[in-house]
Amino acid sequence: MIQSYDLYLPTHLIFGKGRVKELGRLIKGYGSKVLLTYGGGSVKRIGLYDTVREILHQEGCTVFELSGIAPNPKIESVREGVRIVKENAIDFIVAIGGGSVLDCSKAIACGAGYDGDPWDLVIHRDRIGKKLPVFDVMTMSATGSEYDGAGVITNDETKEKLSVGGCFPVASILDPTDTMTWIPRTR
């Protein structure tokens, strides 16, 4: 039997089967324009993408998407996310996936209030100002991104892999049944 619990670290960690349905309650008051971030097709195959989209629709949100976020997220994905956020006056971010998607989303959240290149914020954390709120629905928890403030980003041009800091998710939803589709080697 899977037990459910809530924990505050300062991120509100929500663990248990079926708890994704609480996303609607969690995002109330954060606005109506959301950037939905995810990686490949796995979130669609397991039905989580459709579930989250439906919840956002029920809450009256206008959804913009950034898909294709790769493992070890690249600064190019962050730049694209920041562009979408600024062009559409996004209010908050919902990430679906593992640590890489969440790390990219944190960096986008930091870059939303910055006028320069988001990579500057990786090098100069003191330039991070106002951040967008980030919520996540995790499919794979391996690095602790769901409750920490760091996000590791890769810059292939400079051959660097560094972290942006100070962006704790508002809430992280972890349903252990979402990991059951992974091959045993990755569980």
Query: What is the tens place of the pLDDT at every residue in 57-76?
Result: 999 999 999 999 999 999 99
Residues 6+ apart with CB under 8 A from 66: 35, 36, 37, 38, 77, 80, 81, 84, 104, 108
Q: Please give the structure tokens belonging to residue 41.
A: 């097709």
Q: So what's the pLDDT on residue 180?
A: 64
Strand-strand pairing, 160-164 and 92-97: unpaired
Query: What is the token pair recorded at 60?
Result: 């009256």
Number of folded domains that form the chain:
1
Domain that holds residue 175: 5-186
Return the closest-CA partner of residue 136 out of 106, 110, 164, 163.
Answer: 106
Between residues 133 and 187, which one has the greater pLDDT?
133
Q: What is the CATH number of the domain that holds 155?
A: 3.40.50.1970
Q: Which two tokens stand for residue 73?
A: 């997220």
pTM here is 0.93
Please write the tens of the pLDDT for every residue from 77-121: 999 999 999 999 999 999 999 999 999 999 999 999 999 999 999
The Cα–Cα gap between 39 and 90 comes to 19
Residues facing 6 on adjacent strands: 14
